[in-house]
Chains A and B, each alone.
Chain A
């Protein structure tokens, strides 16, 4: 095993990350609950869009808030490092379950949170500055293997680089889309609002956004550039928080960026917090190293290798599909493609059968406005909805209902075009990882990655 895997590093950065990440998630859950989104997104809808392969994930109806309570509680336990292993596994499972209930609520940062939880399940984030270590001094250690912290950094770097690579396309760089649509909508902001009336501003934002994503992990990793890079992180994510309705994501990234800072930096903060709790010097500086047994270590490194291989390959799966990715969205999710498209759609379904029944569907009878919006631009959701309609109408007097859709989708300022072949009976089509031939070709070209 290369020497790198024997290197140790202070545990402070990982411990502080655990604390902040747990609190952040707890805050997110409280915010979500407080905004009434549990009812809005998980109790109110009559139908849901499960992910392909995860159809067994069912909505819990009125018990959804119990799931959120479990999730919030485990986030709090992770933060203070009490019953850490159980808490982080519960957090991963409950959070991921929530996110898998309905595709309409998919957000890249929820996926990010799930994956960080997954990583944390394998890392000794509770070895230092945790209630567990306080209660069980054999666990307490202020040195951990270096790869434990580096794997978090690597994951964050992968996110940024893929997000940056995804911006290397003609819509983003040459046409400043979709920022050209989004930014002018904020010309009423105080102080900077007037800027968005200038046509060149979206181009500047686009180019800087792309350079930022591609370079920030390296600038953060490098000691000399780190302070400037972190200022950039705060400004960049602060700006996106101001401009776009992306919820907690900017704050999560601002907190996550701290992981790149030096152990001494984290140690100072932890000492400060420790002082508030009158923690003993022995608790803050135990001078012990957390060590895995060789077998466990090999297993963990193997797991991480698999994890990172998947993380590197999964965002590239779109290359296997024909057609324009932004149009077909085959391989779009779970690939760190953030804020890349202004996509709006309209889908009107017609149901008919051999007996001559025919009806036009009012989508609001089945879906919430959010679900309808998401469904009308994403082919796999259109298909799921078509099947839902097929099953519904089969129970309401139609014999072997056929489902057709009149769809119309506008992408990044282009005028709308049909997304789905109107002559395909979607009742007979099945979802799979194979290309969907019933998606109409994109009548334009977006160059780049």
Chain B
């Protein structure tokens, strides 16, 4: 199972992301060299592609990604626009402290290429005629450099750094080994970064119905948040089913593992895998009725968004309790005599 996950899922997913990331860097550099509407549009499209591809790797919170907290450098939102402007004005500032996380990555780029003006002309002007245009362009460069540097640290550990072998050879199910970390990271991603981050917090489902339309992902792009949520959710579903990123064929993964354990509802005899997949389908159905602009949806169609949250919540319980329990995955190193 770990070999399939490493060779057919994680590494190819990282490779795909690297392609999109490289393309975005090229477009970003082109825009920096010659900021105009055409290069902005190219850059923006490349950013959309890379951000969408990111959703397919964020869930691998294991090994180097966990060690270097990859997510913190790529996707902590809402962006801290005041902080970003301060960093731009200063021309410097650390990217390694927790306070800097919302000042970098995709959310910061979102603000810089989508949120600086109501028209593309207005945005381009901030990079051409504005007094701090040069500093702003420099900041774009700093952002992509930082993203590439953190990502390549993680990626090369998998490709040439020997982590792949470490990963597939650490077969125990305790908190320190691959399956434990992978599953704990996967469930945490689903619970905190998909359910809460993308849906629960913006919709107000987790905060007394206080709607926060400005807390959706890719807030400044307006029409991307739903795509990102759907992509991330589908990535979680595919990972659960062990689907190869290269061929789309299912291989050894959580699904086959649970099936081999015979995990099922002892009262109805229905397999846990089927129950989880049925719940994923329900989430997909609830997502499918939403419109692209999630920020508007939480204001005008809040009930439908909240329903997504409710169904995701049920999936969280199944993943977090039924699945980890069936797999006998532990969360800590300390002694335990069986609850």
Residues of A within 8 A of B (CB): 35, 37, 40-41, 105, 107-109, 178, 181-182, 184-186, 188, 199, 244-249, 338-346, 348, 352, 356-360, 369-370, 373, 377, 406, 408-410, 413-416, 443-444
**Contact (Cβ within 8 A) B208 A181:** no
> Taking each of B174, B326, B332, which has the highest tally of chain A beta carbons within 10 Å of its own beta carbon?
B332
Taking a contact as CB atoms closer than 8 A, the residue among B172, B261, B266, B327 that contacts A188 in the complex is B172
Known: A345-B321, A358-B208, A373-B331. A339 touches B337 (CB 8 A): yes
> Taking each of B261, B263, B267, B317, which has the highest tally of chain A beta carbons within 10 Å of its own beta carbon?
B317
**Contact (Cβ within 8 A) B321 A40:** no
**Contact (Cβ within 8 A) B331 A185:** no
Tell me if B173 counts as interface (CB < 8 A to partner A).
Answer: yes
**Contact (Cβ within 8 A) A181 B321:** no
- A352 / chain B contacts, CB cutoff of 8 Å: 208
- A443 / chain B contacts, CB cutoff of 8 Å: 267
Taking a contact as CB atoms closer than 8 A, the residue among A345, A346, A370 that contacts B316 in the complex is A346
Q: What separation, in Å, do the CA atoms of A409 and B337 have in the docked complex?
A: 18
- A415 / chain B contacts, CB cutoff of 8 Å: 265-267, 272, 275, 318, 322
Q: What separation, in Å, do the CA atoms of A339 and B318 have in the docked complex?
A: 23
What are 11 A-B residue pairs whose CB atoms fall within 8 Å in the complex? Answer: A109-B337, A185-B328, A339-B337, A344-B321, A370-B332, A373-B332, A377-B339, A410-B326, A415-B272, A416-B321, A416-B322
**Contact (Cβ within 8 A) B206 A360:** yes
B145-162 interface mask toward A, CB cutoff 8 Å, 1 = contact, 0 = none? Answer: 000000000000000000
**Contact (Cβ within 8 A) B330 A245:** yes
**Contact (Cβ within 8 A) B208 A444:** no
**Contact (Cβ within 8 A) B331 A410:** no
**Contact (Cβ within 8 A) B171 A188:** yes
**Contact (Cβ within 8 A) A413 B266:** yes
**Contact (Cβ within 8 A) B331 A342:** no
Taking a contact as CB atoms closer than 8 A, the residue among B261, B318, B337 that contacts A246 in the complex is B337
Taking a contact as CB atoms closer than 8 A, the residue among A37, A185, A359, A416 that contacts B208 in the complex is A359
Tell me if B299 counts as interface (CB < 8 A to partner A).
Answer: no
Whole-angstrom distance from the CB of A331 to the nearest CB of chain B? 15
**Contact (Cβ within 8 A) B339 A181:** no
Q: B residues 203-228 with Cβ under 8 Å of A?
A: 206-209
Q: What separation, in Å, do the CA atoms of A409 and B334 have in the docked complex?
A: 22
Q: B residues 287-338 with Cβ under 8 Å of A?
A: 313, 316-318, 320-322, 324-338
Q: What separation, in Å, do the CA atoms of A393 and B248 have in the docked complex?
A: 48
Chain B, interface residues (CB within 8 Å), range: 35 or more
Q: B residues 252-291 with Cβ under 8 Å of A?
A: 260-263, 265-267, 272, 275
Whole-angstrom distance from the CB of A350 to the nearest CB of chain B? 9
**Contact (Cβ within 8 A) A246 B321:** no
Taking a contact as CB atoms closer than 8 A, the residue among B174, B275, B329, B337 that contacts A249 in the complex is B337
Taking a contact as CB atoms closer than 8 A, the residue among A37, A247, A358, A408 that contacts B317 in the complex is A408
Taking a contact as CB atoms closer than 8 A, the residue among A181, A184, A370 that contacts B325 in the complex is A181
Given contacts A40-B334, A246-B335, 16 further A-B contacts (CB under 8 A): A37-B334, A41-B334, A105-B334, A107-B336, A181-B261, A188-B171, A339-B338, A341-B339, A346-B317, A359-B207, A360-B206, A369-B331, A414-B266, A415-B322, A416-B318, A444-B267
Known: A188-B172, A360-B207, A370-B332. A346 touches B337 (CB 8 A): no
**Contact (Cβ within 8 A) B322 A410:** yes
Q: What separation, in Å, do the CA atoms of A215 and B173 have in the docked complex?
A: 32
Known: A188-B171, A188-B172. A181 touches B326 (CB 8 A): yes
Q: What separation, in Å, do the CA atoms of A356 and B206 have in the docked complex?
A: 14
8 tightest Cβ-Cβ pairs between the two chains A and B:
A358-B208, A247-B335, A344-B325, A339-B338, A185-B328, A188-B171, A408-B317, A360-B206
- A345 / chain B contacts, CB cutoff of 8 Å: 321
- B208 / chain A contacts, CB cutoff of 8 Å: 352, 356-359
- B206 / chain A contacts, CB cutoff of 8 Å: 359-360
- A188 / chain B contacts, CB cutoff of 8 Å: 171-172
- B262 / chain A contacts, CB cutoff of 8 Å: 199
Whole-angstrom distance from the CB of A256 to the nearest CB of chain B? 16
Q: What separation, in Å, do the CA atoms of A342 and B263 have in the docked complex?
A: 13
Q: What separation, in Å, do the CA atoms of A107 and B339 have in the docked complex?
A: 9
**Contact (Cβ within 8 A) B331 A340:** no
Whole-angstrom distance from the CB of B262 to the nearest CB of chain A? 8
